[in-house]
Amino acid sequence: MRQISKITLILFLMLTIFIVGCSNSVSNGSDSEGEIKIGVIQPFSGPNAQAGEETFKGNELAVDEINANGGLLGKKVKLIKADATNAQEAISEAERLISKEKVDIITGTYLSGVAFPATQIANKHNVLYWETNALAPNITQQGFKNVIRIGQNSDTFASVAVDSIKNVVAPALGKSVKDLKIVIIHEQSIYGTSIGEMEEERLKDLGAQVLKRIPYDPAAADLSSVVNLSKNENPDIWLRTGYVNDGSLLLKQARDIGWKPPVIIGVADDSTYLLDALGKDGMEGILSISYPPYDVSEDYAPGIEAMMKSYKEKYGSDPKIPQTLVSFGGTKILFDLIKNAESTNADKIRESALKMDVEIGGTYPTGYGVKLDPGTLDNTRAYPVLTQWQDGKIRTIYPSEAVGTDAKIKLPLQGW
């Protein structure tokens, strides 16, 4: 009996190997001259699977659109998915995309921790790594000539924070920037620190009073010391960069000691998870530096309405996260560059990208302009927006050209 089951097992294994082998040879067989292949690295499994999938949908919608209009350089565009949730998987999947799938370009990435190692593999093979989403500064600080970040980065997030304090928050409080007292808090890794330091420097340049900058551990079970240290300074503005669970703990602990400063601004605090944690009343009036949300105006972000329509047709719901729009817009810029360069070669696309000069607003569905920093190849015009929680919804507030509704900023905050 035992013998038989062993034989069955061996047969089963051989069959599996055979099937896997077949499916591989099928995908190799589709290696044709008439296609431009783009590898998409995202976390398609694990805790960020849903976000990875939603981000990928942006690439998919852009590809559907270009293929429906005759493709690129006379060829159809094809996407190849690669699932990476950590650095090891990022390396092996990037290797597979380049060596086995023979992709022309790689794009991504919801997770900065996946992008960073994947760019190194792309650099080894001189394949273009087109970054539409990841924020971490180190991705473009490696001196690589093949890594272009067309999406927002910590620099542009800090710019929007400072610009909106100057242009809308100070006037709403009826104060001049020089009279504003600000406490900056941020989680302690490179993500929060880089944004926090840039904000401090630029706000001080404007003459604002940055009373304290407090780094903290986002995994701490208690952040009351951060809240109390901030409260002691009695600031007008509490400016934060962090994640979701530390954000909800900080806001709840501020509520627990009954402290609400006149202005609270957070990076990406437009998350519905925060709404779950604090409720409509708790979030009312809190400002967020956000990826362009779906209420920005069609004039500022041409194509956003068509994108939302095709999303709904294809996936049967409204877009779930703003990262879909960001990868959609980034992919459209890539297609324009491939047309300009008449090639998918990393060097030719870089040359053509460095020449590109598009103002913010009015061209792409994110509202982003294009002007690369020649050193880092970061897009200096990937400009997020300022949003505010109003009656349980996120409303775009700044820049004013982006505002697609009749929403107006409401400040100061009125207690919890």
Q: How far is CA 244 from the centre of its chain?
A: 15
Q: How far is the CB of 195 from other proteins (least distance, A)?
A: 16
* Dist. CA 351–CA 347, nearest whole Å: 6
- Site residues for other proteins, 336-365, by CB under 8 A, read none
Nearer to other proteins, 31 or 217 (CB): 217
- Which of 167, 172, 206, 215 contacts other proteins by CB under 8 A? 215
Nearer to other proteins, 64 or 83 (CB): 83
Q: Which stretch binds other proteins (CB under 8 A): 135-143, 243-251, 307-315, 360-368?
A: 243-251
Q: Which stretch binds other proteins (CB under 8 A): 7-15, 89-97, 153-161, 209-217?
A: 209-217
Task: Give the gyration radius of the chain's Cα atoms.
Answer: 23
Q: Which stretch binds other proteins (CB under 8 A): 74-82, 151-159, 223-231, 322-330?
A: 223-231
Decide if residue 50 touches other proteins (CB under 8 A).
yes
Q: Which stretch binds other proteins (CB under 8 A): 5-13, 125-133, 226-234, 349-357?
A: 226-234
Using DSSP's 3-state secondary structure scheme, residue 326 falls into helix
For residues 240 and 265, the answer to whether their CB atoms sit within 8 Å is yes
| 368 φ/ψ angles, rounded to the nearest 5 degrees | -70, 145
DSSP letters for 24-83: HHHHHHT--TTEEEEEEEE--SSTTHHHHHHHHHHHHHHHHHHHHTT-BTTBEEEEEEEE
Using DSSP's 3-state secondary structure scheme, residue 289 falls into strand
Angle between helices 49-68 and 323-341 (to 10 degrees): 40
- Which of 278, 326, 334, 346 contacts other proteins by CB under 8 A? 278
Nearer to other proteins, 229 or 358 (CB): 229
Query: For strand 147-149 and strand 181-187, is the pairing parallel, antiparallel, or unpaired?
Result: unpaired
Q: How far is the CB of 212 from other proteins (least distance, A)?
A: 11
Residues that bind other proteins (CB under 8 A): 46-50, 188, 214-217, 219-226, 228-229, 244-245, 248-249, 252, 255-258, 273, 276-279, 281-282, 416
